[in-house]
A and B are shown apart, each in its own frame.
Chain A
């Protein structure tokens, strides 16, 4: 769920924006002296994530679901690279398709980018297998749905007893679909082009 502008209270907006900016600057600092060869790779993978988020699958009731691909990039490139990629993808989504907003970009980046990249990556790091990767995907999606509803709740926009179950239930479906996809894609790559899994993880 990408929160649009206008739905969050100023205190939530400002605090999430500050957290997100801090992570972005930390990431930029980490990636300052990377190999030039890595930049086109990150760029094209960012484009891949962007396309992935546009391919929406219709589910029951006229709503549609799209994959996030955050944990997948985190596993391929490492948490800082992946979080910067997701930041750019979310910014593009907000600018070009109006999914999410400009000032609420911080909140969305915290929910999707930071949680997905860092939590997903370090969870997968415990035991780097495909099963753990899809499990990490599932968990991070549920955590980001919870965070999203708490942000709305703290802005007095949502009653937790109604909002949290709705969000969790809808993201349960998303989480299962995405977990299956991550497992499938990883095993497909492992078979065909295993060197993709061997990049330096920053």
Chain B
């Protein structure tokens, strides 16, 4: 089973991958805050957008990948475009808002896809991010793969046993079973971690 499909481009080597994660994080926060909090002319936004696409290209992230990620916001743009048409605002205003969200998405992508996740967590730790939240984040990252495997196994088993599409009843039971298995796994992990001398620290 595929096991690094979340940050799958973080192991490539490019000039962007080599920049220190701290610097990347600070730059990312600056861009995100600057773009979200200030009124910026559309021309400058286009410039930043093109620059970030250039950085994406430089970091060897496939074009198709970041284009599909940008499209995540399309329902929102659609909703807002309808509202703007009703209130007769200009097309440029829609472009401005959309570019702002594209820019933040691209900067998140560049940060996450060029930095390994454990290193990102380390960086957040150095910036005094609360330890408890970091623990939860690393738990999510680690067990996400395990639980997706679990889901794949269960849906495979269900499909073997019945021909037709999954019904709501089956899906509820599947999710219930996933919850029970997660709980049992948590118990086992807890015992294993305690045995190895874990005291609640990262």
Residues of A within 8 A of B (CB): 1, 3-8, 10, 13-14, 24, 28, 31, 36-37, 39-48, 50-52, 54-55, 63, 67, 72, 84-85, 87-89, 91-92, 94-99, 101-104, 152, 157-159, 161-163, 166-167, 180-181, 184-185, 188-189, 192-193, 196
Contacts and interface: CB of A to CB of B under 8 A. Distances in A.
A158 B177 CA distance: 41
A45 B182 contact: yes
B84 to A, nearest CB: 8
A171 to B, nearest CB: 13
A55 B144 CA distance: 12
B6 interface: yes
Nearest to A37: B190
B172 A180 contact: yes
Given A40-B139, A45-B186, A184 B173 contact: yes
B179 A185 contact: yes
B189 A44 contact: yes
A4 B71 CA distance: 11
Interface string B148-191: 10010000000000000000110111011111101101110110
Given A4-B104, A13-B36, A92-B137, A181 B175 contact: yes
Contact of A43 (B87, B102, B111, B186): B186
Contacts, number: 209
B176 A91 contact: no
B27 interface: no
B80 interface: yes
Contact of A193 (B80, B178, B180): B180
Classify the secondary structure of A's interface with B. helix
Interface of B: 6-7, 29, 32-33, 35-38, 69, 72-73, 75-76, 79-80, 82-83, 86-87, 97-105, 108-109, 111-112, 120, 130, 132-133, 135-144, 146-148, 151, 168-169, 171-173, 175-180, 182-183, 185-187, 189-190, 193-194, 198-200
A178 to B, nearest CB: 11
A3 B76 contact: yes
Given A47-B139, A63-B75, A41 B190 contact: yes
A4 B32 CA distance: 11
